[in-house]
Amino acid sequence: MHPTVVMSNHVHVYVSQAHKGELVMGAGVDSYNGYGQRGSFHLIERQMAAALELFPVFARAHVLRTWGGIVDVTPDASPIIGPTPVGNLFLNCGWGTGGFKATPASGWVYAHAIATGEPHPLAEAFTLERFTTGALIDEHGAAAVAH
């Protein structure tokens, strides 16, 4: 029915179909700090509404289950990768809802940081230092939306 992953930044939904036939969708993030891991009802509702905007035929589907977790979000919504002022302590965090898909690249640049003690050139802008220098990563819209 649905041969590919479809994502819309405009209505903020992504959806793909699992091999068993179920539709898998991703929703947004609560605006506030939380460790409840429940998933807010209004976010789930908005997600369903967005999916129906794209695919009205989904209206007949039923909700089988929902899943919520804790996402680590930084002030500029981009990850922190690299060395820290504490010797032999390295960070690879703050991936928010984007950490699966980034794994090959984040593992690569992180391994470089651990092996050499220096950030990988690709990840230089992503160190903890940016919260002191003020050189924040201005790509919230590009990186931290549905994926």
Partner 1 sequence: MLLIACPWCGEREELEFHYGGQAHVAHPAEPEGLSDSQWGEYLFVRDNPKGPFAERWSHSAGCRRWFNVVRHTVTHEILAVYPAGQPKPVILP
Ligand X SMILES: Cc1cc2nc3c(=O)[nH]c(=O)nc-3n(C[C@H](O)[C@H](O)[C@H](O)COP(=O)(O)OP(=O)(O)OC[C@H]3O[C@@H](n4cnc5c(N)ncnc54)[C@H](O)[C@@H]3O)c2cc1C
Give the binding range for ligand X (CB under 6 A) out of 41-49, 58-66, 67-75, 115-123: 67-75
Q: 45: Cβ–Cβ under 8 A, 6 or more apart, which residues? A: none
Q: H helices of 29-139, where?
A: 41-54, 103-116, 130-133
> Cβ 97 to partner 1, closest distance in Å?
17
> Which residues would be at the binding site for partner 1 (CB under 8 A)?
31-36, 40-42, 75, 131-134
> Cβ 143 to partner 1, closest distance in Å?
18
Identify any residues that bridge with 16 across adjacent strands, giving them in sequence order: 24
List 17, 30, 55, 99, residue binding ligand X (CB under 6 A): 99
Give me 144's structure tokens: 């931290």
**Residue 94: CB atoms within 10 Å:** 20
One-letter amino acid for residue 146 of the chain: A
Q: How many amino acids of this chain bind ligand X (CB under 6 A)?
A: 13
DSSP conformation class of 144: S
Site residues for ligand X, 10-29, by CB under 6 A, read 26
| Binding of residue 47 to ligand X (CB under 6 A) | no
Give me 140's structure tokens: 């919230």
| Binding of residue 98 to ligand X (CB under 6 A) | yes
What is the contact surface with ligand X in residues (CB under 6 A)?
26, 68-71, 92, 95, 97-101, 147
